[in-house]
Structure 1
Amino acid sequence: MNMLTAIVLTFAAVIGSSSLHYEAIQRLDRLARKSVGAYPALLFVICGLVGLHLVEIGIYAAIFHLADRTLALGDFGGKAFPSNMDYFYYAAEAYASLGYNNVIPVGEMRLITSITPLNGLLLLTWSGSFLFSLVEDWRGKGK
């Protein structure tokens, strides 16, 4: 039953963060293309994307907190995370594929933790390709 719960949480995080990413990029694209100057729009889009990724990391931090404290799907190698910021930091490390530092998940938590970098990598590259596309369009129009 714990594995099924971990699978559901993992899919919820992937679907939730991907849907949020899609909607945010759609809105950022509309706003950027309506703007007067490319440079201010580019700065706005970059700040928007950074904020978006922080929210997505927050989704994973909440999932890790829920899986660790409430659902008991495993733990982080016996290390206690005393604050929500610890979950956020761990989620950021996993999301950006930086590695686990000295924290190694055990139990069903491993499933969630192993999918986080895959989803993070896809969302980060989606943001990069969106920025590339936007700048290429501006260069072609001479904006």
Structure 2
Amino acid sequence: MKVPQLLIAFAISVGLALVTVLMHYEVLNIAGTMRRRFSLPMRVDLLLLVVAAIIAHVVGICLFALAYAWMNHHPDLGGLAGLFSGSAADFFYFSVTCYTTIGFGEVYATGPMRIVAALEGLNGLVLIAWSASFAYASTSDLWKREQD
């Protein structure tokens, strides 16, 4: 691997991480604001929070999938191999397995794209933990309000 391609892959990873973290922050911030503004039943409140978090995760996964598709058209940046046909579903599937750190292995990255795949796993792990923490804190808050 050449240094310029590694730097491009790293820059793509950092850029996507920044975008997905900012997007996740905004989604959780809006969800928190909406929770305080409207007095929804607890089940509806939590359901909306979880759905908002899942949508944010899926959008982040799609952004990484788009990056993989773009990188795949630039062979010097690596590509996907294995049980890979080049379909949008393949890029999405690969991104899901990286983001969730499942990593089944039928489709795998080669070359500098491996950097993006590895850092997507770290990014996904942090954002999933953040969503879980936010959901836990929101649930605790709602249960306290229900008891009062």
TM-score (ref. length: structure 2): 0.89
1:80 and 1:138, CA in 2 relative to 1: closer, same or farther beyond 3 A?
A: closer
Q: Which residue of 2 aligns with 1:137?
A: 141
- Aligned AA (2:34): L
Q: Mapping of 1:36-115 within 5 angstroms? A: 36=39, 37-70=41-74, 72-77=76-81, 80-115=84-119
Matched, 1:14 2:17: yes
Identity of aligned residues (%): 24
SS in 1 for 2:10: helix
For 1:30-64, what per-residue CA distance to the aligned partner results, in whole angstroms no more than 9, with x for missing partners?
11222322111111111111111100101110111
Indicate the SS of the match to 2:133: helix
- In the alignment, structure 1 segments of 5+ residues that lack a partner are none
Mapped partners of 1:31, 1:71: distance in 2? 45
Residue 29 of structure 1 corresponds to 32
Counterpart of 2:53, as a letter, is L
Instruction: Count residues in correspondence.
Output: 143
Q: Is the 8 A contact 1:94 1:116 kept in 2?
A: yes
Distance across 2 between alignment mates of 1:72 and 1:79:
21
Report the TM-score when normalising by structure 1.
0.92
Instruction: Give the CA RMSD over aligned residues.
Output: 1.6
Please list every run of 5 or more consecutive structure 2 residues that lacks an aligned counterpart in the other structure: none
| Cα distance in structure 1, aligned partners of 2:51 and 2:12 | 28
